[in-house]
Amino acid sequence: MAEINPSEGDTQQFSRGPRGRRKSAAEATEPGGEGQESQELIEKVVFINRSAKVVKGGRRFNFSALVVVGDKRGRVGVALGKAGEVADAIRRGGELARTRMVSVSLKDVTIPHEVLSEFGGARVLLRPASPGTGIIAGKTVRAVLESAGVKDVLTKSLGSKNAANVVKATLNALLSLRLREDIYKSRGLEIRKIAKPEPPQAVPPAP
């Protein structure tokens, strides 16, 4: 069998990939990388709007995308990305939402108490629900709650249906939530632990 000389014939199998410094494990998990961060964060596109500007040659279109990003563990961010193409608008919105992520107070997989929030003409009501209820909400409110990690909640949109205002009203409602431990701590009080009642003991029968 004849040997293949790398200097002659097909040299494709001997070629190397593009040169460059390899990324370390720490760099791979940085925000915006291809490591753990990109796998944990979820990105949802809530609404895409198209605007047109009339110029001499015709119309010039511009797109804006409302994007929600969260880790499903109590952190969520909302941003509006604008660009001349839909894909660029979504990418910019996702990058901006990652920089605006905030932490919200949750009780297991639901919210600790009822809350009513307003933003512009939008009004959103959130109520805690028992396990197994699910997210009873429209697609706009659902996107924010799912990204934050809420699984059982009752909601109602009472005002405007504008997607941007509804999303911001939902985010404000989550930011206004407070746990009982935080309220007691801010007032300098301690949570009293109530002992569980003991079950009644059976009385032996009389002889």
| 38-53: average pLDDT | 86
Q: What is the pTM of this model?
A: 0.70
Which residue has 């511009």 as its token pair? 62
Residue 195 has pLDDT above 90, yes or no: no
- CATH number assigned to the domain covering 40-186: 3.30.230.10
- The overall longest dimension of the chain from CA atoms, in Å, is 109
**More confident call, 56 vs 13:** 56
The mean of the pLDDT values for the chain is 81
Residue 6 has pLDDT above 50, yes or no: no
Residue 29 has pLDDT above 90, yes or no: no
Q: What is the pLDDT of residues 46-70, one digit of tens each?
A: 999 999 999 988 999 999 999 999 9
DSSP state of 13: G
Nearest-5° Cα angle at 78, 72 to 141: 70
Residue 202 has pLDDT above 90, yes or no: no
Domain ranges for the chain, please list them.
40-186
Which residue has 């925000």 as its token pair? 31
Confidence of residue 99 (pLDDT cuts 50, 70, 90): very high
